[in-house]
Amino acid sequence: MKHVKWFEEVGTGDVALVGGKNASLGELIRNLREKGVNVPSGFAITADAYKYVIEKAGIREKIKDTLADLDTHDMENLSTRGRKIRELIENAPCPEDLEEEIRMAYREMEQRYGENVDVAVRSSATAEDLPTASFAGQQETYLNVRGEDQLVEKVMECFASLFTDRAISYRVDKGFDHLSVYLSVGVQKMVRSDLASAGVMFSIDPESGFRDAVYITGAYGLGENVVQGTVNPDQFYVFKPTLKEDFRPIVEKKLGAKRKKMVYKETETGTEQKDITIEEQRKFVLSDDEVLTLGRWACIIEDHYGMPMDIEWAKDGITNELFIVQARPETVHSQRDLTGFETYVLEEDRDLLKEEGKLLVEGEAVGHKIGSGEVNVIEDASDIRKFKPGQVLVTKMTDPDWEPIMKVAGAIVADKGGRTCHAAIISRELGIPCVIGTDNGQEILKGVKEVTVDCSEGIGRIYEGKLKYRVDKLTTSNLPRPCTQIMMNAGVPENAFVHGQIPNDGVGLAREEFIINSYVGIHPLALIDYEQLKSRAKEDEKIASVIEKIDERSASYADKVQFFIDNLAMGIGKIAAGFYPNDVIVRLSDFKTNEYANLLGGYLYEPEESNPMIGWRGASRYYDKKFKPAFGLECKAIKKVREEMGLTNVKVMVPFCRTPEEGRNVIKTMNEFGLKQGEEGLEVYVMCEIPSNVILADEFADVFDGFSIGSNDLTQLTLGLDRDSDLVAHLFDERNEAVKRLVKHVIEAAHEHEPRRKIGICGQAPSDFPEFAEFLVECGIDSISLNPDAVISTRLNVAEVEKRIGKCT
């Protein structure tokens, strides 16, 4: 056949013939099926066929004339010209010989898959799915097409969609000549994901550009809802290096709302939307095994193409098989200069903004920028002419028709969609801050004059008014590498993939309590006692309220204890993945009793103390029979990270350990829960934050593998003051000579011990005071762990000090 090619006949060298999408499908089928990657078959109607239609109809010059006075910044001008050209093509007759070829190919599909086979009809432009330009969603797709007549009709409509308004505008922006871009059409066997689920995945983190993670999104029904942003999908991250070693490193699972699904119409071709029950919404659309299979396929596809990939997947609800239905190059981070990056910093106090009611709404952050401007709420694409450059676009969701205004927006806010939806992909490509999945952003922001859209912390936040922010530009190509390790303090897993790309030597302090607060939010003993509390709830309204909130937070888990273990493990795992293979030292939970009491159900288990800061905290809790079962969940979470996810770069650290004997009790308790010091290289550190840790440093060194100085607690306990008290705050200073003498002494004691013990610092002082960092280097400290924003400046400072004192020469 002259104008039809089966996917098995084409590959990446045939973009000019069958377009980027079809060429990639052929490449996948020909090369990766044997590696286990399932791809539905089909055929391509070539770009030559499109040229043939235009030539036979004699409309090329008419198209050229219509575009002569095109102005893509004038919405009316763009709309009129686009519509006129589409009508020219749609009204053109399909040449008889071409039509017969299309019908013959469909009959062959029927022989393969059955009579009246359901197919997807997708446009595949010759300037589409390129490494430098995605052209995502520029042309049309038609699903559940059946029969020869309907197929021919949809092919002609696909040809016409080369001139949608958004495609015309995008080509102008990217510098493509309209008459030098042609269209092929792909006809592919449908996967019955309307009876199961579908979605999008990237072989790179689309937000941070972190290359060692596969990001997967999914929702019930056909995948168009995820692509278009009609639903907020489930989200998963899989860590590639240990996945390739046959571990199971799912480092994030986030349940999406998934309120609707696109399905086949019951009595005719085409699709329709259906509501999803609450019970279904509370379940993940993929099992862990399926997530891992998709992750492996993403790695195989990326390795074959030699670049990060944007991939669409679907699960067949009849056979329960997974399929890849599209794969294209990722076009944002793969083009980025990796020798430098920008960090956006909001110069206002976020906690204060929240207290004053300036925080209006939250959602998913796309990118890590900050933008501000006048609010313009637009509910329908027909009103996009009302949008002015620099405004903040607020809407329910976007599709490719919105692109002419998206490219001039100061920021974008969308109620619907996940990180792989249209609004996310395009705003990322345009470099515009975007918050998606706000749910009620249109309603809340209606009537608000100006806002600031903040994506800089991994969570999308919209504040009232234009707030001050700065952009820090870092160049990493010529940074010195000091002998002293420059590590980072971490506690927010959402930031791990971004901060891990700042030159560093690992994480000196990963705060477990931060993860428990944000990922779990429930007192561990309330989860252990869930069934018992549930029976008491019938007679106690307060406990009934606790149970209701536990059920809401852990909706996808029947086993509430496993909810704690899995979520803590994923939070730790994501940080460990972001900094792999460097050490990540995880401090075991260091909540005070008043902080534990604030967790859901915490009031049932926590005593009231007059001074929680020096009360029942840290090591003293772990072996206490009242808390020991809860500590066991922490141990199981860390064990899961190291053994199931393969992230053996995780070490643990015991906080507030008052005596060496207490340290031995903690080590013994950890052993009971399967977390054994020395096994698979597991090191156990102790926080040095109590004067006894310094005075008995040699004895603590017999128990632990290393020390990390906590300068905040060490200062308050040395100077005898409560650092939470405003009355004595003026006396709190880590640079006090008494504190410095203790620091110097413990560094010497750690290094003199046989065997020599590693010692670092993870307190606030080196971040705040460069001269304190100099003092630490002069004392010979092994590592300094800092807040992310101080890592580069401290690295430069430390390198200068080492040069001056002749260290490491």
For the chain, report the end-to-end CA distance as a whole number of angstroms. 73
How far apart are alpha carbons 239 and 501 in whole angstroms? 15
- Burial environment of residue 737 by CB neighbours within 10 A (0 to 12, 13 to 18, 19 or more): exposed
- Tokens standing for residue 684: 């156990």
How far apart are alpha carbons 718 and 738 in whole angstroms? 7
Give me the amino acid identity at 473.
Answer: K
368 is catalytic: no
421 is catalytic: no
Its sign, for the CA torsion 305, 458, 564, 713, is: positive
Among residues 421, 434, 688, 762, the one annotated as catalytic is: 762
What burial letters (b/e) apply to 717-730, b meaning 16+ CB within 10 Å?
bbbebeeeeeeeee
Contacts of residue 723, Cβ cutoff 8 Å, sequence gap at least 6: 613, 712, 715, 716, 729, 732
The neighbour count for residue 665, using CB atoms within 10 Å, is 17
CA nearest neighbour of 679 among 667, 662, 661: 667
Distance of alpha carbon 675 from the chain centroid: 29
- Tokens standing for residue 61: 């010059």
How far apart are alpha carbons 566 and 270 in whole angstroms? 40
Among residues 3, 422, 499, 523, the one annotated as catalytic is: 422
437 with 418: CB under 8 angstroms? yes
Strands 392-395 and 706-709, bridge-based pairing: unpaired
227 with 423: CB under 8 angstroms? no
- Tokens standing for residue 303: 């390795």
Contacts of residue 698, Cβ cutoff 8 Å, sequence gap at least 6: 749, 753
Contacts of residue 160, Cβ cutoff 8 Å, sequence gap at least 6: 85, 86, 87, 89, 90
Torsion (CA) 798, 802, 807, 809 in degrees, nearest 10: 120
Active site residues: 422, 762
